[in-house]
């Protein structure tokens, strides 16, 4: 970041004389080529999501979530009912465009419209969604909404420092590592150090271009395998 010198000879941040608080996110549907995001709804998505998560062989996907694995569909639907229509976090279901079924969720949270900052969190992707084009596109759709439509300046990703897959995912998606907040949270009876990542608005054009190049049909072979990695396609 460039520093400027004020009247007292002190370095200060870049001036933003025209800055105005941004709009609060709204519950909308975001359509992509492979998936779409819909406002999370227990009646519409609960059963499908529980069935999608049940594809996992064990409960390891919930280790770093605040929730525990759910005993049955009714328990999961009751959980989703508490999440729907929330102001912060705002949860979205990821819908597979081919099957028209919900296969995962993610949320906008820690929303700070005054400063143009928001975090993506509560990322719960089922085995039907993990490591697919849909998974990458879901993140792209929500980022595009935050930067292009709402005009936010900062998009955050945070995770347990022990969660190496989440840290790898953040870097793959274009987030920059900012540091570790030690003993930031107590959850599930244990201490958590939290890793912080972000993308800022000046980086978004390059990150966006990488997403669009990677998601293009010509980047995939007939068997669906990628020709180029996402990171290789960012300018």
Tell me how far apart the alpha carbons of residues 87 and 148 are, in angstroms, rounded to a whole number: 21
Please give the C-alpha separations between residue 158 and each of 54, 97, 167, 170, 185, in angstroms, as whole numbers: 26, 28, 9, 9, 12
CB 95 within 8 A of CB 128: no
R_g (Cα) of the chain, nearest Å: 19
pLDDT for 3 equals 78
State the pLDDT confidence band at 1, using cuts at 50, 70 and 90.
low
Q: What percent of the chain has pLDDT over 90?
A: 98
pLDDT for 216 equals 97
Q: Is the pLDDT of residue 2 over 80?
A: no
Which residue intervals of 54-203 are DSSP H helices? Answer: 73-83, 133-144, 164-172
Domains of the chain by start residue, with CATH: 23-233 (3.40.630.30)
Tell me how far apart the alpha carbons of residues 4 and 21 are, in angstroms, rounded to a whole number: 23
Query: pLDDT digits over 71-112, tens only?
Result: 999 999 999 999 999 999 999 999 999 999 999 999 999 999
- Exposed / middle / buried, residue 110 (Cβ in 10 Å: 0-12, 13-18, 19+): middle
pLDDT for 114 equals 98
Q: Is the pLDDT of residue 48 over 80?
A: yes
CB 116 within 8 A of CB 22: yes
Q: Is the pLDDT of residue 54 over 70?
A: yes
Mean pLDDT of all residues in 150-172: 98
């Amino acid at each position: 970041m460039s520093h400027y010198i004020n009247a007292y000879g002190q370095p200060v941040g870049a001036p933003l004389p025209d800055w105005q608080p941004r709009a609060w996110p709204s519950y909308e549907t975001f359509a992509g080529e492979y998936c779409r995001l819909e406002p999370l709804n227990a009646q519409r998505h609960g059963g499908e999501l529980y069935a999608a998560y049940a594809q996992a062989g064990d409960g390891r996907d919930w280790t770093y979530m605040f929730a525990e694995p759910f005993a049955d569909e009714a328990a999961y639907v009751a959980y989703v009912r508490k999440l729907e229509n929330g102001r912060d976090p705002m949860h979205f279901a990821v819908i597979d465009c081919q099957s028209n079924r919900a296969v995962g969720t993610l949320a906008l949270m820690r929303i700070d419209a005054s400063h143009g900052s928001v975090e993506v969190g509560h990322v719960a992707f089922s085995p039907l969604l993990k490591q697919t084009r849909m998974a990458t596109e879901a993140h792209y759709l929500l980022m595009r909404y935050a930067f292009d439509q709402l005009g936010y300046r900062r998009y955050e990703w945070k995770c347990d420092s022990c969660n190496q897959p989440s840290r790898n995912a953040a870097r793959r998606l274009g987030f920059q590592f900012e540091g570790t907040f030690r003993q930031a949270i107590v959850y599930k009876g244990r201490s958590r150090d939290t890793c912080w990542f972000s993308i800022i608005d000046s980086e978004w054009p390059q990150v966006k271009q990488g997403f669009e190049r990677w998601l293009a049909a010509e980047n995939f072979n007939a068997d669906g395998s990628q020709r180029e990695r996402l990171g290789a396609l960012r300018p």
